[in-house]
Structure 1
Amino acid sequence: MPRPLSSPLLLAGLLAGAAVAHAAVPKQFDAIVPRSLPGSPRRWTYASGAAELALAAGVAHPRTRKAAAMAAAAFFVGVFPANVKMAADARHRSPALRAVAYGRLPLQLPLVLWARNVSREAVR
């Protein structure tokens, strides 16, 4: 039985769910796009959602799983600045919102490790 942190289909589902969320409620994602990125935040929201959808498809398919899972690990590292912005913006919010924002920061590491494990266990 696969361990949760090595399940490729669960990782693909997480990525696909995040992609749908980016399309369904883009405003909440727009708010965490770092200001230093050029262009409109909405463009980055949709681009990251499209990337998550492509990564989900790649991780789900055995032939592309290894490369897609490594790309997902890199993606999780790449979106970390958005989580930092979310935490910084939450400094003056309610304790519950601060807890959610701060709690997201350490969750990136397990996501990176999960994607790396999926890549390592992929059969070529």
Structure 2
Amino acid sequence: MTRLSWPRHVARWGLGLALVGAGTGHLTTQRQEFQAQVPGWVPLDKDFVVLASGVVEIGLGAALLALPRQRRAMGWLTAAFFVAIFPGNVSQYLTRTDAFGLDTDGARLTRLYFQPLLVLWALWSTGAWPRPRGERG
């Protein structure tokens, strides 16, 4: 396993801590805010979706911090998670649902452009993509 550069290492830790923090918010003080992002077409109870996704976020964040040997796999899983929750952000924009201070169409639209950055952050910070120069396999 090739070591990550210190900027990638710091970015991986930052992402891991951010995910643990956001996941904790799902389970505690921000449950209602997160429920606003669950699209109406999801055939599950909104609170269940928020709690389950919070547990997943905490798990991903903890894995990014505690499993450096599996960091690439965790990077891909985290990126996939960010892709999976993107429809909630789109739904929030389309339904004009206020949450997290996003109370204008412009603010909700701007947020949509940040989701691809989260995907890239997960992949880059873990060395999943692009691979560090000179690294094989």
Q: Which deviates more, 83-92 or 15-24?
A: 83-92
Where do 4+ consecutive residues of structure 1 move more than 6 Å? Answer: none
Structure 2: unaligned runs, 5 residues or longer = none
**Letter in structure 1 aligned against 2:26:** H
TM-score by length of 1: 0.84
Which of the numbers 79, 92, 95 marks the counterpart of 1:73? 79
Q: Give the fraction of aligned pairs with identical amino acids, expressed as a percent.
A: 31
Determine if the alignment matches structure 1 residue 118 to structure 2 residue 125: yes
Which of the numbers 45, 51, 54 marks the counterpart of 2:50? 45
Which of the numbers 18, 26, 33 marks the counterpart of 1:28? 33
2-structure distance, mates of 1:2, 1:89? 41
Give me the CA root mean square deviation.
Answer: 2.6
* Rg comparison, structure with higher value: 2
Which of the numbers 55, 73, 84 marks the counterpart of 2:90? 84
Query: Which one has the bigger helix percentage?
Result: 1
Whether the aligned pair in 1 keeps the contact of 2:39 and 2:92 (CA below 8 Å) is no
2-structure distance, mates of 1:28, 1:35? 15
Whether the aligned pair in 2 keeps the contact of 1:70 and 1:116 (CA below 8 Å) is yes
Aligned length: 121
TM-score by length of 2: 0.77
Structure 1: unaligned runs, 5 residues or longer = none
